[in-house]
Structures are given as structure tokens and as C-alpha cells.
Amino acid sequence: MTGIVKTDQLQGAQSTTITIPTGNKISITDSATIGTLNATTMRGVTTFADSAVFSGAANITGLLASTVGQNFAPEFIGNLYLAGNTTDACELNGCFTNTHQVYRLIGEVGASWAGESYTKFFFLSGTDTKLASGYYGRGRTYDDASASTDTTQADGGFANINMNQASTGSSIVDMYFYRKQHAYQLLGTAAYHDQGSDRGYQHFGWKNNSALALTGFRLENGAGNNMSAINFSVYGYRLRQNATGEMLGAYQ
Amino acid sequence: MAYSVNKDTKVATYNGDTYPPTQKTDAKTGNTTLVAKSEAECVEVKKIRDNYPNECLNRLREKRNSLIAQTDWWALGDITMTDAQKNYRQALRDITKTYKTIEEADGNWPTKPK
């Protein structure tokens, strides 16, 4: 039996809820429009065939998955912010976990030095213990005065993430931390303006073979003076969907 | 050696020198706390501070050496170095006698002859 009910309003008889019984569904014919859908939860696979506009905030707690099921968006982890000359060392604790295998650390790093100096980068392990040994690698600067210099470490006490930093400015630093088991590696770039009016950039690659699980990082002024204008954010990448550990593989 | 910590500011004093606290930020909450340096940490920072003049001098040497290296070809066997070129290289070698940091030397480097 079919029929057409013409009405301007539906209203519950016993309560304010109108229930469509299981096994039944409402079909809205193609091209019919809904003025306002005041839904709080939509279940099942929902396809937005046309453009979807979110004029308010879009809070997405699940993964942003591609068609092959991989997460392709970095996830914001945390921010290390230091406004002024109040300390010579600062840490971001609890930013590295098994959820992500690769982290991007980006921001600006400033400090107060008498002359040009650099910023020391340390990993933190366990309960925020500074890892002050086992750093290997090299950094090299290239600047407009062609006075390129190197920084090297072989079982050194820290990683240098911005050589030749002037006391009057801050470096911009962009680096990736590959969380590979027993072969933690940093790969990055920094732009600098040194005390001798040279401007340029630094490439660096650092490695630490620590068997300890790393949980965060620490920045220190290489000259022992105060730091300034630290604004450093960490984003996490899942190298595989639902990965629960570090990257594996030979480390030497 | 005298070691003490100001309970309010968390600034440590060790052997008459002051050492600022370390700022710790929790990545999940964004909360920050200031933690006073231990006596061992103060000793470590003091070593860094004491060695800083040597580091500055080494950086000046690195830059000086780089500039000298750019003129090494003047000393090849089939080229005769002019007095101006010799004086320039000597002035570069001597710059650490007058200046101890790149900042001090900035603007005072010898002019490279053509």
C-alpha cells in the first residue's frame, strides 16, 4: 500500500522522539533538499559526493586516511615556548612515543651570546634524563662569505642544531627525528646569520645508538648564557598505519 | 663550595655565581615548570662558561683559516705573490693577536687585494 501524506509537521504522540523501526529507512529522493540537519552522531560509512563545507571547527579524533588506509597528515604533538631571557636550558617532555615513527621539529631558536655560538640538542630518556653521550655526525654551514665551517661529533655529548648563531637574532630550524631502534637519527637544516655578518644555512645529520627509549628533547645555550625566543613545535608521522613501535632495521 | 637555591625563583647560586632554572614543558598539557639546577649541573654550566672564550677564539681561527685557504693558490710555484698579497695573508694570521671573537673582528678584517 502506498500513499502520500501531506503535512507541515511531524510530532511525537507519546514523547518528543519519533522512531523509525529497525529494518525501515527514510529515503530522501535525489535532488530533494534538507534545510537544516541537526544531527549529533552519524553512523555508517557516509559519502559526501559533493563539496563539504565546515564553517565551524572540525574536530577529527580519528586518522585522516587515504584511499589505501594510510594516515597522511602529521599530528601536532606539542610546543616548546620560551619568551625571554629567563633560562639557559629548556625541555619538551613526553613528546616521543611509540605511536609515531618520524617526528618533525620546526621553529625558531634564539639565545644570548657574547659572540656567535650554537644550540645544543639533547635527547631525553625515561623520566626526562638528559642523554649526554653517544652523538655521532656532522654539520656544515654555507654562507655568503664562503667561510664555511664544520661541526663534528664522534661519541660526543650533544648534537649541534644551529652553528654560527648571532647573539642578536634567532635561527629557524627544520629537522626530522627518525625513531629507529638503537639508531635514533636527526636530519635537518638551519638558517643563520652569524656575528660576522655572514648569512647562510647549515645542514646536519646526527645519530645516537642509545638503547634507551627516548621520550623528549632538551635545548641548551652552547655558551652557558640564557636562551631567548624559543618557539619549537613537534609533529608526529605514522610511518605505517597503527604502528606501535619504533622503526626496525640494522643500525650499522 | 657554597650551593643554594632561591625557593621562589628557582635560581641556584654556586660559588658566588648564579644559574637559572631549567624550563620543563609537558608536551601533552603544555604546562611549564621551572626546576632548579643541581650542584652537579651548576658545575657543568660553569665549565661551559669558562671555556666559552676559547670557543670564541677557535671560531675566529676557523673563519680566519677559511679566508687564508681561499688565497692558497697565490702560493703556487708558477705564481709570484705580490707584497700586498703577502701582507694580506700575514694580517689574517695576526688577527687573533688583536681580536678574540668574530664579533670583535667584524668590520676589521684586512682588505683582500685584487
- Domains of chain B, by residue range, sit at 1-37, 53-114
ipTM confidence: 0.78
| Chain B CB within 8 Å of residue A209 CB | no
Give the chain A residue whose CA is nearest to the CA of B23.
A90
Return the minimum-mean-pLDDT range out of A122-131, A194-203, A227-236, B37-46. Answer: A194-203
Enumerate the residues of chain B whose CB falls inside 8 A of the CB of residue A83: none
| Chain B CB within 8 Å of residue A93 CB | yes
Asked if residue A141 has pLDDT above 70, the reply is yes
B23-49 confidence digits (pLDDT tens): 999 999 999 999 999 999 999 999 999
Residue A252 confidence (pLDDT) = 47
Instruction: Report helix angle B39-69 to B83-98, nearest 10.
Output: 170
Asked if residue A195 has pLDDT above 70, the reply is no
Under the banding of pLDDT at 50, 70 and 90, the label for residue A96 is: very high
Asked if residue A1 has pLDDT above 70, the reply is no
3-class DSSP state of A130: strand
Number of other residues whose CB lies within 10 A of the CB of residue A138:
14
- Contact A111/A119 with Cβ under 8 angstroms? yes
Under the banding of pLDDT at 50, 70 and 90, the label for residue A112 is: low
Asked if residue A26 has pLDDT above 50, the reply is yes
Residue B28 and residue A78: Cβ atoms within 8 Å? yes
Residue A237 confidence (pLDDT) = 87
A70-92 confidence digits (pLDDT tens): 666 788 999 999 887 778 899 99
Return the minimum-mean-pLDDT range out of A38-47, A228-237, B12-21. Answer: A38-47
Enumerate the residues of chain A whose CB falls inside 8 A of the CB of residue B11: none
Q: What is the mean pLDDT of residues B56-60?
A: 86
- Contact A228/A107 with Cβ under 8 angstroms? no
Residue B11 confidence (pLDDT) = 95
Under the banding of pLDDT at 50, 70 and 90, the label for residue A104 is: very high
Give the chain A residue whose CA is nearest to the CA of B68.
A147
Question: Which residue would you say has higher pLDDT here, A86 or B3?
Answer: B3
Shortest distance, CA A225 to any CA of chain B (angstroms): 8
Q: What is the mean pLDDT of residues B60-71?
A: 88
| Chain A CB within 8 Å of residue B91 CB | no
Nearest to A108 by CA among A191, A177, A203, A173: A173
- Taken as a whole, chain B contains a residue count of 114
- Taken as a whole, chain A contains a residue count of 252
Nearest to A71 by CA among A106, A107, A99: A99
Residue B110 confidence (pLDDT) = 94
